[in-house]
Structure 1
């Protein structure tokens, strides 16, 4: 990303900036540069690409879910674990049946926890793989025992049809 920051540090007074002080604009731009071309290190054949940055909106969504998680009861955390497990290994966990059983016709409005789970699902579905991994990483930093239990539950699904 060399070349961008030094253009902004020199001009402290807008009145003294002339058009010659501004960076030149390329006349023909076919497409925006790729992340690889903006990288400080030149990519080598065996190098793994760095992860794409997480968007501000996604970070806020993830912080929100983590905040909710801190206030959830052990039973709510277990329900969240089952939901997370169903998202991680779809088709190997009976979460769909569990969800259908929990959708009984009720005369009451959904509680806050149910609304939080609905938002969590909407947000999670909009996140890319890197963003999902980032969420799990920051959850692991805050709640290592919960994430260890999640990983052991995922491992327990191996071999299931």
Structure 2
């Protein structure tokens, strides 16, 4: 795998005018939804109107994106594995990757580990439309990362 260099750290606590835009009311063109990528999708193929993204969720997503921009390549790879496990839950290949990252530690978690814990809590509270919105704005910020994510999802097809 070719090494990638990530740059462009931002400060989550330094708001810009972009931080105060209203939540989008609909998505004109969006990437494939997490539901459609999942093997357990009960409603795949059904078309429905997207629900508005809540202000709180939008702020959570912006915070994760800010963290993402400051993460190293190794941290982004760890985030990719976590995102992959959320997109295709129950796949053995993603479970094994998750298990390999578990370690017994005698120290307090670092900031990155705390960020991943918050990310997981927030992600679990988001609805499908909010999750898809996150992928869409992540793709706007780093299309190469999201493209790699979709390739990894496709690589789980047929694997148990």
TM-score, reference length from structure 2: 0.67
Matches within 5 A, 1:53-132: 53-132=52-131
In the alignment, the residues of structure 2 paired with residue 157 and residue 88 of structure 1 have an alpha-carbon distance, to the nearest angstrom, of 10
Number of aligned residues: 114
- Larger relative contact order (C-alpha < 8 A, sep ≥ 6)? 2
Name the TM-score, length of structure 1 as normaliser. Answer: 0.66
Measured on the aligned residues, the alpha-carbon RMSD in Å equals 1.5
Q: Provide the rounded CA distance (Å) in 2 between the counterparts of 1:99 and 1:160.
A: 16
When Rg is computed on C-alpha atoms for both structures, the one with the higher figure is 1
1:29-88 CA-partner distances (Å, limit 9, x unpaired): xxxxxxxxxxxxxxxxxxx54311000000000000000000000000000000000000
| Structure 2 unaligned blocks of 5 or more | 1-46
1:149 Cα deviation (Å)?
0.1
Query: Residues 74-105 of structure 1, C-alpha deviation per residue, up to 9 Å, x if partnerless?
Result: 00000000000000001115444444444433
- 5+ long unaligned stretches in structure 1: 1-47
Q: 1:49 to 1:107 in 2, by over 3 A?
A: closer
Contact 1:85-1:93 within 8 A present in 2 as well: no
